[in-house]
């Protein structure tokens, strides 16, 4: 069982001078989604959910979850967060300190032509040492069976059979600190697999 993946997140925005922010959208969340931050997000019947195993050319990724999913009872409907009713205030509720926003939407880091993501590197559930020869290659994405985060999968190399990411570079910090198996690579979602930037 693997346990090396970390949440996929934005590494940088290409073509920007200085501080640029990635495109983030709050999209209607499908009911009963419980996946973690960094999971790939797709459109399903008007609502957004975590992609299942990506093994073909059909998935159009909206991007990656910027927060954990909320396990909504009803799709695109705010989930009431309450720790009870305060004494002598029947029309009020107690919202737990630090409770996450639950407005029926999921925050998504949008996959577009300018956004470069970073993710752990592996091959079929095994941490793998990234190499400069991987740059420019198209690989897939797979869910880590050990911790439920997703990683860039060198084992998926065929476009149309799950290979939907283009490797841009090795992560600069990992190169400086000496590369190890499972270190991060920088990637873009291939144009044919982007929902919002075709």
Arithmetic mean of pLDDT over the chain: 90
- Within 10 A of 5 (CB to CB), how many other CB atoms are there? 28
Rounded to the nearest angstrom, the gap between the alpha carbon of residue 65 and the centroid of all alpha carbons in its chain is 5
Mean pLDDT score, 32-44: 95
CA 61/CA 64 separation, integer angstroms: 8
Mean pLDDT score, 5-31: 89
Whether pLDDT at 24 is above 80: yes
Confidence of residue 64 (pLDDT cuts 50, 70, 90): very high
**pLDDT of 116-169, one tens digit each?**
999 999 999 999 999 999 999 999 999 999 999 999 999 999 988 899 999 999
Phi/psi of residue 80, nearest 5 degrees? -75, 120
Give the percent of the chain with pLDDT over 70: 97
| Residue 128 · residue 121 · CB < 8 Å | yes
pTM: 0.89
Whether pLDDT at 30 is above 70: yes
Q: What 3 state SS string does 8-57 have?
A: CEEEEECCCCCCCCCCEEEEEECCCCCCCCCCEEEEECCEEEECCCCCCC
Predicted confidence at residue 18, as pLDDT, reads 63
Whether pLDDT at 1 is above 60: no
| Residue 70 · residue 100 · CB < 8 Å | yes
Mean pLDDT score, 67-83: 87
Predicted confidence at residue 2, as pLDDT, reads 78
Predicted confidence at residue 21, as pLDDT, reads 87
- Within 10 A of 7 (CB to CB), how many other CB atoms are there? 18
**pLDDT of 82-125, one tens digit each?**
778 888 898 888 888 877 778 999 999 999 999 999 999 999 99
DSSP output for the chain: --------EEEEETT-SS-----EEEEEBPTT--PPTT-EEEEETTEEEE-----SS---EEEEESS-----SSTT-PPP--S---TT-TT--PPPTTPPP-SSEEEEEE--TTEEEEEEEEETTEE----GGGTT-EEEEEE-TTTS-EEEETT---TTTT--EEEEEE-HHHHHT---TT-EEEEEE-GGGBSS--
| Residue 26 · residue 135 · CB < 8 Å | no
């Amino acid at each position: 069982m693997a346990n090396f993946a970390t949440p996929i997140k934005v590494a940088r925005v290409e073509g920007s001078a200085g501080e640029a922010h990635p495109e983030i959208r709050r999209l209607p969340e499908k009911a009963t989604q419980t996946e973690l931050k960094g999971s790939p997000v797709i459109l399903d019947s008007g609502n957004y959910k975590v992609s299942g195993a990506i093994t073909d050319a059909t998935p159009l990724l909206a991007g990656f979850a910027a927060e954990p999913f909320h396990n909504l009872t009803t799709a695109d409907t705010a989930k009431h967060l309450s720790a009870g009713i305060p004494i002598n205030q029947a029309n009020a509720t107690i919202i737990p300190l630090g409770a996450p926003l639950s407005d029926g939407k999921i925050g998504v880091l949008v996959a577009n032509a300018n956004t470069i993501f970073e993710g752990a590197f592996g091959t079929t559930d095994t941490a793998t040492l990234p190499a400069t020869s991987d740059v420019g290659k198209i690989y897939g994405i797979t869910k880590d069976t050990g911790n439920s985060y997703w990683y860039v999968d060198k084992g998926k190399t065929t476009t149309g059979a799950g290979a939907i990411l283009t490797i841009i570079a090795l992560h600069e910090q990992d190169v400086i600190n000496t590369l190890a198996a499972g270190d991060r690579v920088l990637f873009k979602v291939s144009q044919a697999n982007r929902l919002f930037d075709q």
